[in-house]
Chains A and B, each alone.
Chain A
Amino acid sequence: MIIKKQDILYLAGAALFACSPLVLDAYWTDVLNNIGLYAILALSLNIILGQCGLFQMGHAAFFAVGAYSSAILNTMFDIPLLWTMPVAGILAGLFGLIVARPIIHLRGDYLLIVTIGIVEIIRIALINDVGGLTGGANGIFGIDRPILFGLKIKRPHQFFYLIWGFCAATIFLFHRLENSRFGRALNYIKDDDVAAEGSGIDISRYKLTAFVIGAFWAGMVGTIFAGKMKIISPESFSFWESVLLFTIVILGGMGSIRGVLLGAFLIIGLPELFRDFASARMLIFGAAMVAMMIFRTQGLLPPLPRRYDVSRFFSKAEGEQS
Chain B
Amino acid sequence: MEEFFQQLTNGLAVGGIYALIALGYTMVYGVLKLINFAHGDLFTIGAFLGLTLLTSLGLTDSVGPVAGLLVLAVMVVILVGVVGFLLERVAYRPLRTSPRLSAVVSALGASIFFQNAIMLIWGARPLVYPHGLLPNITVDVFGVELPLIRIIMFAISVVLMCGLYYLTHKTRIGTAIRAAAIDQGAAKLMGIDVNRVISLVFMIGPALGGAAGVMVGLYYGQINFTMGWLYGLKAFTAAILGGIGNIPGAMLGGLILGVVESLGAAYISIAWKDAISFLVLILILIVRPTGLLGERVADKV
Residues of chain B within 8 A (CB-CB) of A286 are 109-116
Tell me how far the C-beta of B227 lies from the nearest C-beta in chain A, rounded to whole angstroms: 14
13 pairs of residues in contact across A and B, judged by CB atoms under 8 Å: A103-B285, A110-B289, A118-B282, A124-B274, A125-B275, A128-B272, A280-B116, A280-B120, A282-B116, A283-B120, A287-B109, A289-B105, A293-B95
Tell me the residues in window 263-284 of chain B with beta carbons closer than 8 Å to chain A beta carbons: 271-272, 274-275, 278-279, 281-282
A114 and B112 within 8 A (CB)? no
- B52 is an interface residue with CB less than 8 A from chain A: no
- B155 is an interface residue with CB less than 8 A from chain A: no
**Knowing A106-B289, A283-B117, A283-B120 touch, does A116 contact B233 (C-beta < 8 A)?**
yes
- A225 is an interface residue with CB less than 8 A from chain B: no
Q: Chain B, 106-140, contact with A by CB distance < 8 Å: what is the 0/1 string?
A: 10111111111101100000000000000000000
Residues of chain B within 8 A (CB-CB) of A125 are 275
Residues of chain B within 8 A (CB-CB) of A120 are 233, 274-275, 278
- A297 is an interface residue with CB less than 8 A from chain B: yes
Tell me how far the C-beta of B89 lies from the nearest C-beta in chain A, rounded to whole angstroms: 12
Q: How large is the interface on A (under 10, 10 to 19, 20 to 34, 35 or more residues)?
A: 35 or more
Q: How large is the interface on B (under 10, 10 to 19, 20 to 34, 35 or more residues)?
A: 35 or more
- B1 is an interface residue with CB less than 8 A from chain A: no
- A202 is an interface residue with CB less than 8 A from chain B: no
A121 and B275 within 8 A (CB)? yes
B279 and A121 within 8 A (CB)? yes
**Knowing A112-B35, A280-B120 touch, does A293 contact B281 (C-beta < 8 A)?**
no
Residues of chain B within 8 A (CB-CB) of A279 are 119-120
**Knowing A113-B35, A282-B112, A283-B113 touch, does A290 contact B106 (C-beta < 8 A)?**
yes
- A134 is an interface residue with CB less than 8 A from chain B: no
- B103 is an interface residue with CB less than 8 A from chain A: yes
- A109 is an interface residue with CB less than 8 A from chain B: yes
| Complex Cα–Cα for A247 and B112 (A) | 12
Residues of chain B within 8 A (CB-CB) of A124 are 271-272, 274-275, 278
